[in-house]
Amino acid sequence: MTFQDADAERPDLARLTALQLRDALAVGQESAVAVTRHFLAVTARRNPELGAFISLAPESALRRAAELDEHLADAGPAGALHGMPLAFKDVVDVAGMRTTFGSRVAAEAPPAQEDDQLVYAVHSAGALSTGKTTVPEFALPCHSENLISAPARNPLDPTRTPGGSTGGGAAAVASGMLPFAPGSDGGGSVRIPAAACGLVGLKPGRGTVPTDLQEDSVRNLTVSGPLARNAADAALLYDAMLDGPGGEGRSLARALEAEPGPLRIGFSTASPFSPDLAITLARPAVDALTAAAAALGRDGHEVVEADLAFAPGYHSDFRTVWTSALTRVPLPEGAEALLGPLSTHFLELARGYSPSLITETVERLTAWATDARRHLAAHDVVLTPVLAFAPPAIGAFTALPPAEDYEFQCRFTPYTSMVNVMGLPAVSVPVLRDTEGMNWSVQAIGRPGTEGQLLALAARMEQLLAP
């Protein structure tokens, strides 16, 4: 179902940050219905080109908006995100909407009966969902193409991928279809599309978001995090993800106005995928890292090149842990015939792993993570590139044989999955645009529990690097 009302678009609303929009909604300066109609109208205009949404739910969104307007009149704002439209990627359940996982296996699944825990938490903070955003099959690749819907495309250049697997969410935010979006990140799935589309994307540390799996294991790679157009907007959504139902509301977005104290910041282009894979950085990736390091040095931080030496074996061990996750997906009988080539390849690999091989691999990867964290701990923050080269064209990954497709993804994103394995927080921050208008970001990796510090650093970088 689509929403056709071009007159509902409001240029004045499009100019507001998410924080400004939330404030206007909270005091009744804007109604939730008018704001929702605006974003639905932008979606109706832009989604056919960009494929950001795999499904839309305008009627339920407008009903929820009307209820929120009534709540404001009777009892004040419903929560810290009162009236804010957003959309979850199509791998989490939203009541009344189908969850397809971007796969033919679940394309005809019935609508979910209840919200996922994270969805419930964010909705309880006053937000509303306008649909589900596009993902690759089972959110495994770092692009956002699947066999059941149009591919998500990059608003900076629609011939290119917006990254993945939260690529649909990133495309929606970057094109003005949403003020911000929640995502999940198991190997870079928030930071990669943030960098591809010029957004801020936060990956919290393992177990930080209460609704995430709390197991402290290198097999527990996926966390939930926000994508937004700036650090303060990301902090606003992240606050709600942390607080959940009944939360008193944190003030992280406001706290970012304070500059972070002097930090010891390291920068590096070392990747754990080397030497197994040839990692070659495009010139703008290096330029962005250099520009960010120089700006932070001028700002009073101690900035030095980090001496990172990663233990060997990461490429093979991460691939084993990453692909083994597919065996934990409850596939119905006959599902194999419906899977795409990459998922089929991953499943074949995973079914060939013996229990002893998995145990040994997890032990090695755990030791690798301990050693890697020790190297990073010499610094408060470590800066790396996010993407090695510009987002490839739509179809560039899927045209390759599956094994080559996966290696191409690793070479495209050689710095993100290691942070998931280490369980540390990291944020993707835009730094510069190249001559073709594409964005280049840096990744700032922090110590455990420093998500607020990373967002404050991102906010400061926005000031330092503003054109």
Domains defined for the chain, CATH in brackets: 6-255 (3.90.1300.10), 264-464 (3.90.1300.10)
pLDDT digits (tens, 9 = 90+) for 91-136: 999 999 999 999 999 999 999 999 999 999 999 999 999 999 999 9
Nearest to 376 by CA among 364, 388, 384, 386: 384
Active site residues: 89, 165, 189
Q: What element of type H or E holds 318?
A: helix 314-324
Helix residue ranges per DSSP H, 352-392: 355-376
Task: Let me know: does 154 contact 46? Beta carbons within 8 Å.
Answer: no
CA angle 288, 291, 295 (to 5 degrees): 140
pLDDT digits (tens, 9 = 90+) for 420-460: 999 999 999 999 999 999 999 999 999 999 999 999 999 99
pLDDT for 74 beyond 80: yes
pLDDT digits (tens, 9 = 90+) for 156-209: 999 999 999 999 999 999 999 999 999 999 999 999 999 999 999 999 999 999
Mean pLDDT of 43-56: 98
Give the confidence band of 249 by pLDDT, cuts at 50, 70, 90. Answer: very low
Alpha-carbon distance of 372 to 80, in angstroms, equals 37
Count CB neighbours of 401 within 10 A: 11
* Both structure tokens of 392: 């490839």
